[in-house]
Structures are given as C-alpha cells and as structure tokens.
Chain A
Amino acid sequence: MQLDDLYRRVIMDHYKNPRNHGTLEADAVTIKLNNPTCGDSIALQLQVENGLVTDAKFSGEGCSISLSSASMMTEVVKGKTFDQALELADKFSALMKGEPVEFEDYEDIEALSGVNKFPARIKCATLSWNALRKGIEQQHE
C-alpha cells in the first residue's frame, strides 16, 4: 500500500485548485448527494440543452479524493451528450474496480486508478459521478 498511488500530484492539484467549483444559473439541474459514512456532501449543477451537458459546476465539502474527482468529472463531462456522459460514468466505475481503462481525451482521471487499492475510499471518489448519473437519469424521465 503506497500512499503515492492514492495521492498523485495531479489529484493534489485538482484538490488545491478545483476546476468548476461554484454554482450555475438557477435553471440548472441540481443534484445533492451525501456520503453518509463521513457526512461529506456535494451539490452538482448541470446546464443541459437538447440532450447535451453544456456546463457543470460543483460545491460542497469533501476529502481530497472526492473533491478532486468532482473537479475532474466536471471538466470531462462538459460538451458531452447524456449517453456519452453515462458511458464515462460506467468507465469510471470500471476504473474503481481496478480494470484498465483509458480516458482518451482527459487523462487526469486515470490518476484516480490508485483508489482501487484503498477500498474504503472508493465511496469518496464515486460521489460526484453518482450525482452525474442521477442528474442525467432525471433528464431521461
């Protein structure tokens, strides 16, 4: 168990300088999720138009893993169709299971592959992705 596997430089960079941290306009889709084991919470906002995620921002409290994961997720999801976004969420789940997955147009996410070796922290990493999934599934209803 190597700490550096978990806390790679790119993760720390997203933690220290989160991308897309903040809130969107009032008409954005808002999903609030809690991590009940630690009391952390995230509010994800998605701006959606014609089956497309045009913008994404997040706010809330969390550890380095959950906040950096949210930062990366909001980066990569912008400009994606709902189906593409769900596909990314599936790929992220596979990454958390330790499967070799590549994020061709956004390699930062691959830095989170080390979370797989820290089972207790997988919930932290997946919080924002679960919010994304929930937000898009709401749009399909």
Chain B
Amino acid sequence: MNIAAIREQFPILHQEINGHPLVYLDSAASSQKPRSVIDAINRYYEKDHSNVHRGVHTLGSRATDAYEGAREKVASFLNAALPEEIIFTRGTTTALNLVASSYARNACKPGDEIVITQMEHHSNLIPWQQVAKATGATLKYIPLQPDGSFTLADAELTITANTKVVAMTYVSNVLGIVNPIKEVAAIAHRNGAVMVVDGAQSTPHMRVDVRDLDCDFYAFSGHKMCGPTGIGALYGKKALLSKMEPIEFGGEMIDYVDLYESTWKDIPYRFEGGTPIIANAVGLGAAIDFLQEVGMDEIDKHQRQLAAYAYDRLSELEGVSIYGPKADRAGLVTFNLGDVHPHDVATVLDSEGIAVRAGHHCCQPLMRFLNVSSTARASFYLYNTEQDVDQLIAGLLKTKEFFGHAIG
C-alpha cells in the first residue's frame, strides 16, 4: 500500500491547522474524502441529475442507472445475494431504527428478549430500549469481561429460546474490539432469533461478507468509509425484508393509491419513501470503487498495524490508561492521560494540528462500565502513517508538560 500516493488523493489532508500540518486522527467519527468521490458527486450534478424511477427522459434514465448502479456496488461490496437486499438510508442510525421499528416492534411481545452488549453505540442501544418499552420485551446484556470483551459462553447463556433479536456492533468504536459476529449469529439462529449487526466501524476497514457472517440485518454509514455524509444502507435478507412493513409513506415507495387503501412497491423501494439521496448514493459507489482499488485486506492490515504501533507508543507514556484489549484490535486507540480531562487533551493536540475525539463517543453505558466520564480517542484510516502516531505522542508529551506546568 503506497500511503504517499493515497494521501495525494485526499485534498483536505494538505493544509495547516494552527500553523501545523494537519494530523487527522478522527476517522472513526467521520473519514475524509478522496478526489474521486468529490468528483463523482460533482459530475453527477453537472451532467446526470434528475429524479429517479420517474422520468422517461434521458437524464431520468442516467440518474436511475447511477442510483441503482450504486446499489449493485453496495450489494457486491457486502457480498449480498441480491441488490434488492440493500436499502439506502441516511446512515447506520436510520438503518438500525428501521429494523427496530419495522421488524422488531412486530416480532416482539411481552416475555420476549432482545439481547445486546454494553459496548453498543447509542444508535444500537436506544432503539432496542424503545422496542422493549413499546412491546414489553426484556432488554438483556451479555456481560462484559474487565477488558470490555465478552465470551461466547456468556453469549450462549444470555441468548435463550425467548430471544427474538440479537443486536451487536461488529467493531467497538471505543475499545477497538472485533466481535465474533459469525459465532454469535449461529447462537442467535439456534434460538430462533435474528442477528442485527452495527457495521459502522467494520465496513470502512475490513472485508465484510454478510452471507458468510449469516447475519440477518447489517447497517453501515457511507461517511466513515470515504463516502459522503447522509447516505448509508441496511442490508437485510430478502425473506425478512419482504415481510416487513414500511415506516415512511409517500413518493417512491407507493405502488397503487386509492382513496382509503394503498399498496406498496416491492423491496427495496418500499423502504425508500420520497426522493432518495441520489447524489450521495453515487458518491458512496465511488467510495466503494476507491476502497476496492486499494484493497480491503490491505486497509485492514494497515489500520491494525497503526493501532498496534499506537498502543505500544502510548504504553510507553507514563500515566496513560488505554481502554480495550491489546491484541487483535481494530484501528483506534482510546485512552486517558493521567487526570488531564480529555477535552483539555484534545484542545492542546488541536493547537498542534492534531485532531482526536474527546468525549463519551456516544457510548455512555460503556463509559460507566470503564468507570470514566469520558476518554480521548485516536482513530486511524488508510491515509494515516506511523509519523502521525509519532506526532500524537509528541503532542501528548506537550500536553503533559503544559498541564504539569500550569497545574503544578
């Protein structure tokens, strides 16, 4: 992987922040965009834009082809069996809420169980709290080990014949843990439950095969994988999606409308009311092309190497706490620097041009498990280098010095 050539393709990286070259270590929140994605969106608006599925004119056909072409790219990227198993949404949150509202609210009744973990992002936690409240189902958590991971034995104990839904993140956005989705999906299916996967942090970084995982639903966002904001997708097995009712009504999802009764189109259109997010779907398609050209296995290897390097370098710093296991972590490192508040850490790093995330990372229950109110997080992507990690360490040394002087 030629990082220098990759970095060349990301215009945003070539600027100074507060007088220092930008070191962008917040890709888990949102990744930057290569020139090819920016150009694809511009080209679409300059040459091809029209509404989709309606016009009989040339632009209508071009726009429809571009939008449906993007769907096919997503389907092949995830190794879905069919393009209609891909529903475009605003992102992971909307996709997970669609499963919760359309599938789970109808599938659950009092006494049923929904199983999740305490490492879930709020987007894969609150929708299930709401389903439990609305249906009388019980929300259960697979217990976590001290490092934040869980054992399959505990998953076996928590998932029972009463479980209707198991929902879990593939990669933790705080701990960097890669969960054994395939094994958990097998447990869920043995108990008659569906497996829902939050792929927000896995899809950008590793080869994902929804058929090999045998998950029933898989959600992800485009903006974390070099694509635009406002577009993501839900993968669902055709047999399940076909039985689900839409939750938004109007526009493209309509089949036939009478005064008092109407019918819906087939999947995926049934779940895509209104004018869809056409240009951003085209941008997502371009992002997939870009990532596949680099190679998902290469990206996976690169981000794991950076995370391992960062973990080692951070461990050398006195007073640093790192959260999550050391081995087999995805490309991010979450930490705290002594008793310096993460906000203060992030501000000092920003003054050196280094962008990290500080806060609870939309994982408040996990913060409570870790016994902290917030943490700092450096997350890596294909355009980051070991030199970026070295800059981070230098910035943290400066933070220690600054706060040592200022407080001491």
Q: Which residues of A pack against B, CB within 8 Å?
A: 1-3, 6-7, 9, 12, 15-16, 37-41, 61-65, 118, 120-121, 124
- The residues of A that contact B249 with a CB separation of less than 8 Å are none
Q: How many B residues touch the partner, as a band?
A: 20 to 34
Contact of A39 with B348 at beta-carbon distance under 8 Å, contacts A61-B373, A63-B341, A64-B341 already known: no
B406 with A12: CB separation less than 8 A: yes
Contact of A62 with B406 at beta-carbon distance under 8 Å, contacts A1-B351, A41-B373 already known: no
CB distance from A60 to the nearest CB of B (A): 9
Cα–Cα, bound, A39→B364 (Å): 7
Contact of A63 with B344 at beta-carbon distance under 8 Å, contacts A16-B407, A40-B374 already known: yes
CB distance from A6 to the nearest CB of B (A): 7
Contact of A37 with B347 at beta-carbon distance under 8 Å, contacts A7-B406, A12-B406 already known: no
Q: Give the contacting residue for A40; candidates B351, B373, B406; CB below 8 A.
A: B373
CB distance from A43 to the nearest CB of B (A): 13
Cα–Cα, bound, A7→B404 (Å): 12
B188 within 8 A of A: no
Q: Which residue of A lies closest to B345 (CB)?
A: A63
CB distance from A77 to the nearest CB of B (A): 24
Q: Which residues of B pack against A, CB within 8 Å?
A: 18, 341-344, 347-348, 350-351, 358-360, 364, 367, 373-374, 402-403, 406-407
CB distance from A141 to the nearest CB of B (A): 30
B373 with A3: CB separation less than 8 A: no
Contact of A37 with B407 at beta-carbon distance under 8 Å, contacts A1-B18, A121-B347 already known: no
Cα–Cα, bound, A2→B373 (Å): 27
Cα–Cα, bound, A61→B373 (Å): 8
Number of A-B contacts (CB under 8 A): 52
Contact of A38 with B347 at beta-carbon distance under 8 Å, contacts A3-B402, A7-B402 already known: no
- The residues of B that contact A65 with a CB separation of less than 8 Å are 343-344
Cα–Cα, bound, A41→B359 (Å): 12
Cα–Cα, bound, A62→B367 (Å): 14
B407 with A39: CB separation less than 8 A: no
Cα–Cα, bound, A37→B343 (Å): 10
B402 with A39: CB separation less than 8 A: no
B359 with A37: CB separation less than 8 A: yes
Task: List 4 tightest A-B contacts by C-beta distance, closest first.
Answer: A63-B341, A39-B360, A63-B343, A38-B359
- The residues of A that contact B374 with a CB separation of less than 8 Å are 38-40
Cα–Cα, bound, A40→B342 (Å): 11
B342 with A38: CB separation less than 8 A: yes
Cα–Cα, bound, A107→B205 (Å): 51
- The residues of A that contact B360 with a CB separation of less than 8 Å are 38-39
- The residues of B that contact A61 with a CB separation of less than 8 Å are 373
- The residues of B that contact A7 with a CB separation of less than 8 Å are 344, 402, 406
